[in-house]
A and B are shown apart, each in its own frame.
Chain A
C-alpha cells in the first residue's frame, strides 16, 4: 500500500488534537505515514506549551507496545502530549480483567476479627467491619455500617474511594497511601476517604456530591496547612 493511501486525519478542538489513524493498513505503514505527516507542514507543533493529543485507533487491534511506539513517535515530533488512547478492539483477557475490575462483591453480615475479604473490583459490605477484620479491594469499598477494622481500596493503583456510614477505621489506605488516624471532626460520622494529589483525604459524606472538585479544595487546604506548619 502506498503511503499516500494511508488515512491519517487530524482534527483540532478546544481540548487539543485528535489523531484518527487508518485501521486498515499495516502497522509499519501507519508509522511511516505518521512520520511523513510530521515532516513538513506541522513544524508549528514544535513551539509552545504541550498540546493534548487524543489518539484514535478505530477498529485496529493494538498491543500495549504498539501504543507506546505511536505515543513516542508523536511526542518526539513536537510539543505534543498523548493524554488519551481510544480504540474499539480489545483483547479477550483485557476485557475479562476490565469486567472483574468493574464487578461488585457484596458481603452481608459482620466482617469479624481475623477475617479477610479480598476483591478484584469493588466491595459492598452490608454490615460492620469489626476491629481486626480486613477488606482489601482493587476497586472502592462501600460500607453500610461501622468501619472499625482495616480497609484498603485501590490496591492496584486504580482510583478508588472508601465510604462508610460510621467511619472509624483502625487503619485505612488507598493505593500507596495509608493513614492510622481519622480527623476528629469526622470520627464515627458518615464519611469517605479519597486520594488526590498524593494525599489521603477524609471528607464528610455530603461532599461526595461535589466530586471531583471538592478534592482539589481539600487537597489545597491540606497543602496550605502543611506549608503553614513548616514555615
Chain B
C-alpha cells in the first residue's frame, strides 16, 4: 500500500508519522535527536513503520474470531517482546563499543580489569533491563539512551567499588560509546523480529498454542503487506540537514498549522512550545497559515527552560508539572532567561519559598511569554490548539487556561495526548497532497 511519511526533526526529539492514501494516520514513531540527523530521521521513520504494522495487526485481529486473549493483550505482549529484542541488539552494540574503548582508551586502569568490570556490568545490565519489558513493568522513557544510562550508572558504580577502579572511567567509556550506538542505523529486520518476538512470548508461556497459530497467521499476513514509501516530507528545526531534496522540506510553521487542523478542524490558533522555540500560528478553515510569530533572537521560556530547571532541582522533566500542581501560593518569577532563572530560583528557595510554588511561578513565566508571542501573531481565536512537548505538562496547561480565559474569554482549548506528533502529521499530509492532490 502507498504510504506517506512526515518527519519532524526537532531540537530534542525526532518524530515521524505514516499515513495511508486516504489521509488516515497509520502509525507514529519518536526518538531522541542526535548528532547524526540521518540516523535520527531513519530511526523515527522505522519506529513509525513498526507502529503502522501494529495498527494493521490490530485491525486484522479485531476481525479474527475465536481468540482467547483480547486484541489489546496480544498487542501489548507482542510489542514488549519486540521492544526487548530491539533493545538487546542495542545493548550488544553498547557492550561491544565499551569493550573496544576500554582497551584503546589509554585509561590509567589496567585494560584487563576494565574488561572484567564491563563484563560484569553488562551481565547485570541485561538482567536488570530485561525486567523493564516484563508484563506490567513501567518504563520511564522509550529511549535506549535514558533506560540504559540510568541502570549503567548504578551498576558501574558498584562494580568500580568492588574492583577498586574509578567509576569516572567507566562512565567516560559509556559516554563515548552511547553516542556511537545512537548513530548506528537501525539493524533489526522488522519482520523477523516480530515473528521471533511472538515465539518468545510462546516460550514465556504468555500465549497459548491455539491463539499463537491464529496470531502468527495474522501477523504474517500483515508483514507481507508492502508499505511503500511513496513520498516523504521533512520539517522541524533540523530540516535543512535532513537528507532530502528541497521540495521535500516544509517549514514547521506550515506543518504545525496543518497538523493541528487535521487533529481539530475548528482550530484557528495554534500555540506550539518546543524545545527551543515558541510559535503562535493563525490558520484558516482549511488549515492554511495566515499569520505566525515565533521567537528568534532568544530562546528564553521554551521547553529547554523547563529541562534546565528540572536539572537545577534534580528532578525529572516529567516530575515538574505534577509538583507545580501542588502549589498553593503565587510566587512570581520575573526571568524567562534560562540562565537567570536558575539564580532567581535559588534566591527564592533561600527566602523560604516552597519548591512547588516556585515551580508553578516558572510555568506561569513561560506561558506569559507565549501569550505575548500569541498576541503578536494576532491574538487567540476559538479554537486554540496547544502542541509541542510542553503541552504534555499539566501545570503549563493550567496556566494557559487561566491566561487565555483572562485575556480572550471562554475558548475551547484542544490538547491531544499525541500533540508531539502535530508537525510530523502535517508533514505526512503535505507528502500525501504532493502525490494525491
Asked if chains A and B come from one complex, the reply is no
Interface residues of B (CB under 8 A from A): none
